[in-house]
Amino acid sequence: MQTLIFLDSPYPLPPMNTKICVKCKQEKSILEFHKNSRSSDGLHSYCKECNKAQALAHIRAEKARKALLRAARKAANNVE
């Protein structure tokens, strides 16, 4: 699958079949990247696998942060 990506650019990019993930540094098929209309090539810089790992890490960190806030709020309410 080859793609020509224009994105309103006066200089169209050449067709590409692969891209290097900036996180894992592996060359992967363009099918392994989510679309991103804001990037010059129309694809995210992280592959789907790395993107998923980053999202899960963020969810876990947010869960832990909210648990700490909840515990602090509960402790503050018990003091009164």
Tell me the C-alpha distance between 46 and 55, whole Å: 11
Alpha-carbon span 56 to 70, nearest angstrom: 21
Q: What pLDDT sits at residue 16? A: 78
Q: Kindly indicate the confidence band of residue 68, based on its pLDDT and cuts at 50, 70 and 90.
A: very high
What pLDDT is stored for residue 21 in this prediction? 96
The predicted-structure confidence for 14-54, as pLDDT tens digits, reads as follows 677 999 999 999 999 999 999 999 998 999 999 999 999 99
Number of domains forming the structure of the chain: 1
Question: Domain range for residue 69?
Answer: 18-79
CB 41 within 8 A of CB 13: yes
Q: How sure is the predictor about 80, in pLDDT bands with cuts at 50, 70 and 90?
A: low
CB within 8 A of 6, min separation 6: which ones? 12, 13
pTM of the model: 0.67
Tell me the three state secondary structure of residue 65: helix
